[in-house]
Amino acid sequence: MLPSSRLDRLPPYLFAELERKIAEKKAAGVDVISLGIGDPDTPTPGSVIEALARAAADPGTHRYPSNRGRPELREAFARFYARRFGVELDPDSEIIPALGAKECIFNLNLAFLDPDSVALAADPGYPVYTGGPLLAGAEAVLMPLVPELGFAPDLDAIGGDVAERARLLYLNYPNNPTGAVVPDGLFERAVAFGREYGVLIVHDASYTETTFDGYVAPSFLETPGAKDVGVEVFSLSKGWNMTGWRTAAIVGNPDAVSTYWKLKTNIDSGLFEGLQLAAARALDDGPPAEMPGIYQRRRDLVCDALREIGVDVMPPKGTIYVWAPVPEGHTSASYCELVLEESGVVVSPGGAYGPNGEGFFRISLTVDDQRLSEAVERLRGSLGG
Ligand SMILES: Cc1ncc(COP(=O)(O)O)c(C=O)c1O
């Protein structure tokens, strides 16, 4: 058996050593608390589950879906974007449902990249922005995100040759893993960059509905000219506690949306129609209103505890993560191993999200309050003073 050479292009799996240590701890009977993965612990809203049950009972939803999506879902996305962001979308040409943002982002690489072309990807960033281009046979060029620039890429620093070969540029605000919200002017600069170099700007809006302290995240498509050069990938996973439902959409530039559709008709057969109708209900209801408050409380719990153990952390205004610098004398990996060793708590090493993530670690706020309080007490107890 010979796997394809394209799989060899993927970087080594950086969580491997940590996962081995976690397994070791569990085998030794330690009650490990994982703050590693960003998967909401709170259930999907009841109204959405009821809508799914009703739709699933209708045999009209049981056949192959169309990859264009049911009009009910596309229209619900259009209503949501109009209400939430003031962005007008044409449900017939500017919206296609996706099987989660991950599928959509991965397939955009196949749809837009050739072997000599480039995707510009944030470093640190969601791994599909770099793995996707490699699997598409192209190149991912990293754009460093550093605290001094508010975790915004410096688009002026992208060399002419790279910019000329670039076909895609990924942005994501509120940002995983840094928790940063979009710095002033970045979306406008991205529109100008897209125009100058003919690059499709892809904004991953996975966390726009999870924000704190009164901050309201914008859509990239609110930016003048954005629809001429870009698309947004909007997911219900995090905001609606629907990670398992695999429900998202690509919205924006109609040519890009239709290119994605053309690729997708050759790859999958779309989203179960019952799910599409339930997702329409979710969009019309809006995200569960209590979630930002829940995460904000957890964020404060974690940030207070980190400060007490000497970690210099900035509370994020969005996402479901806290991103913090590792104390002096540690690498990301060595600090995460120390935290696991001393407290039985799993946090993610920043280096796993790209070279510029080195020196940081990420805590996910997606365990229930009781477990999170216990994790925090353990950190205080074992690493404090
Ligand atoms: C930035 C970002 N984009 C996309 C995803 C995946 O979203 P989905 O569940 O819609 O595939 C994640 C999941 O963690 C993410 O952090």
The pTM of the full predicted model, rounded to 2 decimals, is 0.97
Residue with the two structure tokens 């049950």? 53
Dist. CA 45–CA 285, nearest whole Å: 10
User: Which residue CA neighbors atom 14 of ligand 1 most closely?
Assistant: 38
**pLDDT (tens digit, 9 = 90+) per residue, 250-306?**
999 999 999 999 999 999 999 999 999 999 999 999 999 999 999 999 999 999 999
pLDDT at 103: 97
Dist. CA 290–CA 44, nearest whole Å: 12
3-state secondary structure of 365: coil
Asked if pLDDT for residue 17 goes beyond 80, the answer is no
Q: How far is the CA of 118 from the centre of ligand 1 (A)?
A: 21
Dist. CA 189–CA 195, nearest whole Å: 10
Task: Count the neighbouring beta carbons within 10 Å of the beta carbon of residue 368.
Answer: 12
What DSSP character marks residue 211?
Answer: B
To test the pocket of ligand 1, the residue of 206, 271, 319 to mutate (highest count of ligand atoms within 8 Å of its CB) is: 206
User: Which residue CA neighbors atom 7 of ligand 1 most closely?
Assistant: 101
**pLDDT (tens digit, 9 = 90+) per residue, 39-82?**
999 999 999 999 999 999 999 999 999 889 999 999 999 999 99
Pocket of ligand 1 (CB under 6 A): 38, 100-102, 126, 172, 176, 204, 206, 235, 237, 243, 248
Residue 126 Cα: closest atom of ligand 1:
1
**pLDDT (tens digit, 9 = 90+) per residue, 108-146?**
999 999 999 999 999 999 999 999 999 999 999 999 999
Q: How far is the CA of 101 from the centre of ligand 1 (A)?
A: 6
Residue 238 Cα: closest atom of ligand 1:
9
Question: Buried b / exposed e across 147-173, counting CB within 10 Å, b at 16+?
Answer: eeeebbbebeebeeeebebbbbbbbbb
**pLDDT (tens digit, 9 = 90+) per residue, 305-338?**
999 988 889 999 999 999 999 988 999 999 999 9
pLDDT at 272: 98
From start to end of the chain, where are the E strands? Answer: 33-34, 95-98, 118-123, 139-144, 166-171, 200-204, 230-235, 248-252, 321-325, 345-346, 348-349, 360-364
Q: How far is the CA of 45 from the centre of ligand 1 (A)?
A: 19
Q: How far is the CA of 248 from the centre of ligand 1 (A)?
A: 10
The DSSP bridge pattern shows strands 248-252 and 230-235 to be antiparallel
Dist. CA 128–CA 126, nearest whole Å: 6
pLDDT at 12: 75
Quick one: what percent of the chain has pLDDT higher than 70?
99
Asked if pLDDT for residue 233 goes beyond 80, the answer is yes
